[in-house]
Structure 1
């Protein structure tokens, strides 16, 4: 807790064991990292088999799924690297550490999925306008093997922490592969029984449509965090209303800001006016306890004020100076 010699008193709280430079690095979930690593090996290993099968059979569904698996392997590698980088402790250049790279990796993975959807759509339209022969038997064999591989990889990732955007991005890539394998199997059955080859690009379009919504959600959520957006479960106005009523000794809460380091780590800063004679230490602890228990915010920075807010006064002075400069 720091006290400044001013006309009014400010007190900043970082909670037990936290300093203003955030020189600690929160532990990264090693289980998530292990799951991503094994899913990466499985996906990358099967990708070469699927490429060969798609070229031999002439199936767009297999080639599209193989292309998807190629980007999946790269995306899983990026997700694994993000977990690995997150282990680095905070330093002077990154006072919060490197956890945010996981969110960046999720954004890149989501954007890559959107690009894949566009590529599949273009290729499918081309195949519909210019049909090509497809070997249904070869397509069926590779697709069934791909389904087994994708089920194993998806089970690995789905068993991890689904609140982690990085893991969700990796799982979404594998889910797209799984759907692609199902589509390829269905297309192979139709081709083997009826000989109708347009089913191949049509089902590819269906898979692309299924992937599109989830990919867009991933991009939107990760970009919201990267742009310091307010976490979805936090209502700033509700925090302003609740704290004065829940914590004895404070009359007003203002300058409330909330954002996320990662999807699992919301952060809050706020100013609170303290009644004269109140125990600042107890008030500070009560505010931080209420934020943790009521709003699931474990990391908060609280400024206690015994007089007018210094930021309000500074904004008033700056505004007055700007008005004078504008008139001169």
Structure 2
């Protein structure tokens, strides 16, 4: 059987944790100040940004916990270890977005109908500070290993929050210069739209892994055809292609070869083919002779 997987990344796990922890500290400090200013300014846009930032902090905290769990070695009944902890973390992040979208759409629409008085200057200044803080946090997380769906989920939280702060800054300037307070509610709805897009992406990607769909670039029909077309192969059965966790695609299959064929050579060649063409390094191939014949074992 051919084994091995490409789950090692160029970034060290300890470095990733440091980057995420620094971003978490930065966000929590600013979020506390933003909640206070949002209440004083009576701005739903700022409060929605603070809520978004709370999910940013939760996303990073979950990412750190998931990274620790995913690093645990395979043991006992957990033959793949706890690697899918990061996928569950990404799914939870997506679900938190959904809840916030519902709330901020409701609150934004309500304030469009009955706009309250909003202090535009406070909104503008705080939002601009938020852009800078989120840019710094995004820079820190971008230095971590974003091939992990877990880390990518945290990064998307930060990036969306930065865009949201830009929308809030524009709304603050409009309220300050024109007195049109509905701009604040419109900014909150823009934030909700950004959250909805991020939620869809995270839930789609994490769902594909949790339901063991084939990874991108490894269409099962194409994989089956490639194996079947290999010299000496007569049939492919029980083909399964899935993703254990981010960057860890896996495949198993039962392959039959021509009478007298060298099963071990075919297995090695198929493992190389799957790695080079489909980037699948963790392969479990049961290679047998056609019923009624014997596999030839090459001399070592």
- Determine if the TM-score, normalized by the shorter chain, exceeds 0.5: yes
1:288 matched residue in structure 2 = 271
Q: Tell me the TM-score normalized by structure 2.
A: 0.90
- Structure with higher Rg: it is 1
1:105 matched residue in structure 2 = 89
2:189 matched residue in structure 1 = 205
2:175 matched residue in structure 1 = 191
1:114 matched residue in structure 2 = 98
Change (3 A) 1:95 1:26: farther
Shift of 1:51: 0.4
Q: Map 1:160-175 to 2 at 5 A.
A: 160-175=144-159
> 2:121 aligned with 1:137, yes or no?
yes
Q: Distance in 2 between matches of 1:38 and 1:279?
A: 55
Q: Distance in 2 between matches of 1:91 and 1:73?
A: 31
* 8 Å CA contact retained: 1:49, 1:142: no
2:262 matched residue in structure 1 = 279
Q: Distance in 2 between matches of 1:15 and 1:192?
A: 63
* 8 Å CA contact retained: 2:242, 2:249: yes
For residue 235 of structure 2, give the secondary structure of its aligned residue in structure 1.
strand
* 8 Å CA contact retained: 1:240, 1:252: no
Aligned residue among 154, 158, 167 for 2:138:
154
1:10 matched residue in structure 2 = none
Shift of 1:255: 1.4
2:2 matched residue in structure 1 = 14
Shift of 1:278: 2.0
1:255 matched residue in structure 2 = 238
Q: Distance in 2 between matches of 1:94 and 1:179?
A: 40
Question: Which ranges of structure 1 fall in alignment gaps of 5 or more residues?
Answer: 1-12, 19-24, 310-328
1:224 matched residue in structure 2 = 208
2:297 matched residue in structure 1 = none
For residue 82 of structure 2, give the secondary structure of its aligned residue in structure 1.
coil
For residue 254 of structure 1, give the secondary structure of its aligned residue in structure 2.
strand
What is the CA deviation profile of residues 55-82 of structure 1, one whole-angstrom value per residue up to 9, with x for unaligned ones? 1111111111111111221121001111
CA-based RMSD of the aligned residues comes to 1.9
Change (3 A) 1:280 1:70: same
> 2:42 aligned with 1:52, yes or no?
no
1:36 matched residue in structure 2 = 20
How many residues of Structure 1 are paired with residues of Structure 2 in the alignment?
289
What is the CA deviation profile of residues 38-60 of structure 1, one whole-angstrom value per residue up to 9, with x for unaligned ones? 21111111110100110111111
Question: Which ranges of structure 2 fall in alignment gaps of 5 or more residues?
Answer: 293-300
Shift of 1:170: 0.4
Q: Distance in 1 between matches of 2:245 and 2:82?
A: 10
Shift of 1:231: 1.4
Aligned residue among 108, 120, 127 for 2:111:
127
What is the CA deviation profile of residues 179-237 of structure 1, one whole-angstrom value per residue up to 9, with x for unaligned ones? 22112211111111111100000111122112312221210110111011121211222
Q: Distance in 1 between matches of 2:139 and 2:8?
A: 26
* 8 Å CA contact retained: 2:249, 2:282: yes
2:249 matched residue in structure 1 = 266
Q: Distance in 1 between matches of 2:52 and 2:224?
A: 47
For residue 229 of structure 2, give the secondary structure of its aligned residue in structure 1.
helix
